Each structure stands twice: as structure tokens, then as C-alpha cells.
A and B are shown apart, each in its own frame.
Chain A
């Protein structure tokens, strides 16, 4: 099973979160917003240079900074 960080994903790719790394306030906020292991995410859009990256999770859209996205690991879901 292919594991990547969210920052390595391309638009329309889907995955299941396996790990959310990081620490401090932003990390905590990300967890509070539902970015937690075993949740499915779809990458919607990626800005030039990969920052920010827009994902869809639990039915809503969320923008993440690249520095946050590199710490979120996903198992790719084949289409």
C-alpha cells in the first residue's frame, strides 16, 4: 500500500489518513477540525509551489499550509 504525505498528493487523488505529525497550536487546531487518522481526504487544488493545498475532508473544504501537509501521512486509495 502506497504511503505519501499530503504534500506529495496531486489534485483528485484520494487517501486515508494514517498519521498526523506536528506539535503546538496549529497541530491541535488541525486535529480539532477533523483531520485525524482513518479519515478519508481528497486533494482538491494545489497552489503553485504546493502552498497552500486545499483538501476535502468530512464533506467540507480546508486549506492547509505546506508545512502542515508534509506532516500528514496518507495511504493512497486507488480509483
Chain B
């Protein structure tokens, strides 16, 4: 029996998403467009053990705010399509900047694997990354990779299967925004949890987005709460 899995690759621009995508899917790729827009949509398939995996290569983004089309595409895909596993391709040589997106993905409740790519470049710059420590704090698996030399692909597939199989709960990582902000989040969360929107999105994530005055979320909220 083949089991179907949907996964998405996200990450900062130039972190190696398409290289990983090519390693995973080889020639089994098709290119289309995201609905209604001209941004290219790349999907492909691969087989691993008894899994038939559909892989989506999302546009490169630094963040998941609603400020650019790329960000909206990436965000909507994760929230609405709810892929079984989201693989966050992180440039190991630019860890601090890249982890901002990682934290946003975790706040969205994505079932995440961190693919720590460009380990060769990080090593070349003398960086030594404590993988276990990182994994412990993020609450996600961390897979070291050198995608340009097809290194780490099997380990990544192994983790994808493991996460899908064990139904591991999403990471419990929670950023403490400080007392003042947390109080507001709590109030909003209470209200949000009574709305229909909270079935689609994590209440805490919606609360943070409302406080940020995120246009798209604010709009969705108004539409979804007419009564």
C-alpha cells in the first residue's frame, strides 16, 4: 500500500530550496502557476519506502508577513493546504537571519523539519553548529545538508517519513513577547477562539498577526466575523 504525503519546501531566498527540490524529485517535476497569479509554481513527486511524496517548492521569503505576493503565497499554502510536513531550508552560514522565518513557521503550527543546508560554507567560515542543541530548543528535527553535493537527502527523507509516521506533535516552541504584549495576546486569543477562523489558524498566531496589524489577517477576520 502506498501512502501519500504532501510536503512543502520553504526558506529564505537563495538558501537552496530548488537544489533540494531537484535532489528529491529528479525528473518528476511539473511547473505551473499559483492560482490567479503569474508566480511560478513548482511541484514534483518522489518515492521513499512506501510513500508517494508530493513536493512543493515555495517562493523564497524572509518572513511570512502579508507584504509581498511571494510571502502571501508561501503563507497561504502552509495555512490552507496544511502540508503533512514543512521542510524549512536554512542557510547554515546565515543562521540568525534564517531562524526568524523558522520561528514564524513554528508559530503557525507547521509540522516542521529544519534542513540545515550549506553546511560546507558554514564550516568554511569556521562555524561549528551544535545540531542537538538547536534541535532541542526548536523542538524540531535538524538535518545537516550540502544540497549542491546531494548530501543529506536520504536523512531528510528518513525524517520526513518518521514525522509523518509517528504523528509527532508540532513543536511547542513559544516566544515570550513580554508581559504587556502577552496580556493583549491572551485577550485576543479568548475572542478568537470563539470565532470560526480559529478552526483554520492557530489562535495565538492570529492574535500576534492582529497586533502587528497584518492587513490580510485583519481583512480575513472582518469577513469571518460579520455576525
Note all chain A residues with C-beta closer than 8 A to B67: 25, 28-29
A34 contacts B by Cβ under 8 Å: yes
- A-contact bits for B70-96, CB 8 A (1 contact / 0 none): 000000000000000000000001101
How extensive is the interface on chain B, given as a class?
Answer: 10 to 19
Please measure, in the bound complex, the distance between the C-alpha atom of A34 and the C-alpha atom of B62, giving whole angstroms. Answer: 9
Highest count of chain B CB atoms <10 Å: which of A25, A32, A34 = A32
Nearest CB in chain A: distance from B132 CB, A: 22
Decide: A34 and B97 in contact? CB cutoff 8 A. Answer: yes
Decide: B97 and A28 in contact? CB cutoff 8 A. Answer: no
Please measure, in the bound complex, the distance between the C-alpha atom of A60 and the C-alpha atom of B62, giving whole angstroms. Answer: 14
6 tightest Cβ-Cβ pairs between the two chains A and B? A32-B63, A32-B62, A58-B96, A34-B97, A25-B67, A28-B67
Interface size on A, residues (CB 8 A): 9
B2 contacts A by Cβ under 8 Å: no
In the complex formed, the residue of A with least CB distance to B71 is A32
In the complex formed, the residue of B with least CB distance to A57 is B97
In the complex formed, the residue of A with least CB distance to B104 is A32
B33 contacts A by Cβ under 8 Å: no
Decide: A58 and B62 in contact? CB cutoff 8 A. Answer: no
Please measure, in the bound complex, the distance between the C-alpha atom of A58 and the C-alpha atom of B68, giving whole angstroms. Answer: 23
- In addition to A29-B63, A32-B63, A59-B97, 9 A-B residue pairs with Cβ atoms within 8 Å of each other are A28-B65, A29-B62, A32-B62, A34-B96, A34-B100, A59-B93, A59-B96, A60-B94, A60-B97
